[in-house]
Amino acid sequence: MITRRLRPYRQQIWPSIPACYLFIIDQSSEMMNRVGGNGLPMAEQLAHSMNFWLNALITKTTTGAGVVDFMEVAVISYHSDDHGMPVVRTALGAGLAQISTDRFLGISQIAKHPLRVTRKTMQIYDPETSESLVVPVESTEWVDPKSSGLRPTRNAFMLAHAMLSEWTGGHRDSFPTIVIHITGGPSDDGDPSDWAAAVNRLGTDHGQVLLCHQLLSADPRQEQVLFPHEENQLCSS
């Protein structure tokens, strides 16, 4: 069992010392499979999750003066073309696709350039009347569901390393960068673990990159793995 105490992160986040989020998402053809075998297609679930994340980050950074650049964000996707060549590029649509291929954008810039804003309805439960109410809601989207080709995970982490090396080098006093990788399975272009480890070793003066992996599975027998919430649930490898 791990017994050492980890030093908590204490650095504040301000526009002058912004946080950094990098999302790396799988858009290979296997993402057409359904979550758990009978849920949404994994590509749709992933796009929904990414749009939720971006909306949440924008909400967190909205003040009376509008959206403030407390953080810089990038979303890169990976798949292959018709010839099997890796395609690793931004997953953001609209005008952002032209300017964010391999760099981070202030969250205010992302907020100003959504792919679309649609009106939907949502059912909510009213505890006072014990009835379900249908209410209109706006849905802001930046990422579309896509699925094609192979899964060049190694190439994706190579680009991530280049992007993060530049960003952390210029933001030494910032909170440690957060990287979230969401995939549907193993890499098709070789073992990515060396590049993932290289990404993990990068950091600011306040700590190394915080790298998280999430696996979406089409196998209904796949055991759900959750993050431990107590230190005694951690095991040394």
In a domain, 120, yes or no: no
Q: How many domains does the chain have?
A: 1
Q: Is residue 71 part of a domain?
A: yes
Q: Is residue 9 part of a domain?
A: no
Residue 126 lies in a domain: no
The reply to whether 166 falls in a domain is yes
Position 47 in a domain: yes
- Write out the chain in H/E/C secondary structure: CCCCCCCCCCCCCECCECEEEEEEEECCHHHHCEHHHCCCEHHHHHHHHHHHHHHHHHHHCEECCEECCCEEEEEEEEEECCCCCEEEEECCCCCHHHHCCCCCEEHHHHHHCCCEEEEEEEEEEECCCCEEEEEEEEEEECCCCCCCCCCCHHHHHHHHHHHHHHHHHHCCCCCCCEEEEEECCCCCCCCCHHHHHHHHHCEECCEECEEEEEECCCCCCCCCCCCCCCHHHCCCC
Model pTM greater than 0.75?
yes
Domain that holds residue 183: 19-115+143-224
Q: List the pLDDT tens digit at each of the 237 positions of the chain.
A: 344 445 667 889 999 999 999 999 999 999 999 987 777 899 999 999 999 999 999 999 999 999 999 999 999 999 999 999 999 999 998 788 777 667 899 999 999 999 999 887 777 777 888 888 888 888 899 999 999 999 999 999 999 999 999 999 999 999 999 999 999 999 999 999 999 999 999 999 999 999 999 988 877 776 666 666 666 655 543
